[in-house]
Amino acid sequence: MSDEEAHDAFRLIRWSETQGAPVCPKCDCSAVYTYQTRKLYKCKACAHQFSVTSGAIFASRKLPIRDYLLAIAIFVNGAKGHSALQLSRDLDCQYKSAYVMAHKIREAIGAPVESGTVAGEVEIDGAYFGGYVKPANEKENRRDRRKTPNGKRRVVVTMRERDGITLRYVFDAEHQAVPTIAAKVQPGSTIYADEASSWDVLRARFLTKRINHQEAYSTPEACTNMAESFFSRIRRAEIGIHHHIAGPYLSAYSREMAWREDNRRISNGEQYLMATEAALKHPVSRQWKGYWQRSVA
């Protein structure tokens, strides 16, 4: 794809409501001037100059437009995710550029469901990810690493609507998710959960069906298999792709896996269009714009 073709593709996807006609991101005016020497537009109403990526998550870009289209195509093609190191090799760019680009895509694709709620039959569960405790060399010094706190391991709590969307949030402990569950699950819903004591208080608000995983993983009355499927995707991504997910970024990776899990049945082409449209309509990222230019913890 040439630069001109990539620019036209971006323009048609971003301004699909106007059949590709540019619209000012500042005042939403559709009357614009088009520069002939540069791929820029100027609003007739407010005189604001903008490009096809202005005001979107790829604003202030440095790479060619076609590299961003290629990055999205490569990103959505991975069933278990795509590492920033591999993406930098595919695009022949610096690791830092690929790292921020991948996180911008994660932010954009997960944004549409962030403010949503779930209803009907909802599965609730939590799983711990991140952190690493190095095993001791000698046998007598070894500990159960699953029960050894290291300050980095956090829990992802999911609210997965059967035949619907997946909401996920990151907490330090499962019981901290109860207020969020009460706010995000609509009244009248049926909650399916395991035997964890953290979910006992949900019986006061919802019809709750429980399953004891110490006795069975699934029964005709209750199961949390869809929530476990979501956690399995994160686990495979952590083990096979990223190898390490730091606590502060666990929310971003779980957001990506929720999107992949919800859209696993649609074609790669549709996923590509969805991700590109989400990236071009998402506002500038306050977390990832200028990420390497400031102090990063």
Which pLDDT belongs to residue 140?
86
CB 180, CB 158: distance < 8 Å: no
Residue 138 scores a pLDDT above 50: yes
Quote the DSSP letter at residue 23: -
Q: Where residue 3 falls among pLDDT bands split at 50, 70, 90?
A: confident
Domain that holds residue 12: 1-52
Is there a domain that residue 38 lies in? yes
Average pLDDT over the chain, rounded to an integer: 91
Is there a domain that residue 137 lies in? yes
From CA 249, how far away is CA 279, in angstroms rounded? 19
From CA 282, how far away is CA 270, in angstroms rounded? 18
DSSP notation for 42-106: EETTT--EE-TTTTSTTTT--S-HHHHHHHHHHHHH-SS---HHHHHHHHTS-HHHHHHHHHHHH
163 and 234 inside one domain: yes
From CA 214, how far away is CA 229, in angstroms rounded? 18
pTM of the model: 0.88
**176 phi/psi in degrees, rounded to 5:** -70, -15
Number of other CB atoms surrounding residue 200 within 10 Å: 14
How many independent structural domains does the chain possess?
Answer: 2
| CA distances (Å), origin 15, targets 1, 75, 177, 250, 269 | 20, 23, 38, 32, 19
Instruction: Render pLDDT for 206-239 as a digit per residue (tens, 0 to 9).
Output: 999 999 998 998 998 999 999 999 999 999 999 9
Compute the 3-state secondary structure of the chain and give helix, strand, coil in percent, each to the nearest 5: 45, 15, 40
273, two tokens: 């269009």
Instruction: Render pLDDT for 9-21 as a digit per residue (tens, 0 to 9).
Output: 989 988 988 999 9
123, two tokens: 């599965």
Residue 146 scores a pLDDT above 90: no
Q: Where residue 161 falls among pLDDT bands split at 50, 70, 90?
A: very high
As a whole number, mean pLDDT of residues 36-64 equals 91
Task: Give strand pairing partners of 21.
Answer: none
CB 26, CB 50: distance < 8 Å: yes
151 and 243 inside one domain: yes
Residues shown for the chain: 297
Is there a domain that residue 142 lies in? yes
226 and 130 inside one domain: yes
Is there a domain that residue 20 lies in? yes
Report the percent of the chain where pLDDT is more than 70: 97
Which pLDDT belongs to residue 297?
47
As a whole number, mean pLDDT of residues 265-280 equals 92
Is there a domain that residue 9 lies in? yes
